């Protein structure tokens, strides 16, 4: 039975490498997968899922006009699995398309992303994944500054913590650190 999976974690928890691993495992068995990634994520190149350790794979870029349901429905061969990177950037409508892919087409969907932003508010995509996902799994990593589990993202500019600003600012280790609650409030910078 197909299910909708949400795998979330703080920055550096291995979400992108995990999605690439899952794709590899399916393809190694001769099973097709469709990979999607938001077009807003241009850290490496639009339309690519890239891990910090250097692995990357081409994916279908998603924007507010992308009809993922139709793309999946009309794909030949029929995909065995649909994989979504950076699902926190998706709209409610996009998440409902993922629900339709699972419920109407019987294809499992695994979506990977952040749960909360640097101000500890849910992203729209994450909010609706938490509501609609059949299975939710946390991917863990440690705080940039201490030994605790990282559950938040600390945005930094010029070595200083930032606690206000627009929700979405694309960046990697130069702009965000995975942190625990204590270090988010009082980072040892």
- Tell which residue, 21, 66, 30, has the closest CA to residue 47: 66
Q: How far is CA 27 from CA 98, 163, 176, 188, in A?
A: 21, 42, 33, 44
Query: Of the listed 28, 45, 64, 86, which one is catalytic?
Result: 86
178 class by beta-carbon count within 10 Å (0-12 exposed, 13-18 middle, 19+ buried): buried
The question of whether 18 is a catalytic residue gets the answer no
Among the residues of 50-149, which ranges form H helices? 68-73, 92-105, 124-132
Among all residues, which ones are annotated catalytic?
A: 86
């Amino acid at each position: 039975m197909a299910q909708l999976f949400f795998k979330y974690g703080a920055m550096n928890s291995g979400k992108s490498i995990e999605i690439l691993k899952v794709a590899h495992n399916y393809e190694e068995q001769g099973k097709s997968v469709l990979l999607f990634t938001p077009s807003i994520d241009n850290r490496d190149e639009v339309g690519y899922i890239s891990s910090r350790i250097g692995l990357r794979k081409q994916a279908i870029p998603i924007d507010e006009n992308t009809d993922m349901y139709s793309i999946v429905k009309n794909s030949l061969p029929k995909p065995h699995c649909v994989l979504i990177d950076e699902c926190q950037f998706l709209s409610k409508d996009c998440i409902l398309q993922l629900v339709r892919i699972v419920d109407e087409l019987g294809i499992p969907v695994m979506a990977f992303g952040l749960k909360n932003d640097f101000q500890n508010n849910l992203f729209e995509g994450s909010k609706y994944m938490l509501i609609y996902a059949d299975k939710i799994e946390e991917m863990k990593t440690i705080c940039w500054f201490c030994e605790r589990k990282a559950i938040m993202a600390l945005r930094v500019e010029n070595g200083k913590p930032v606690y206000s600003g627009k929700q979405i600012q694309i960046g990697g280790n130069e702009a965000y650190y995975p942190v625990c609650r204590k270090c988010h409030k009082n980072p040892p910078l």
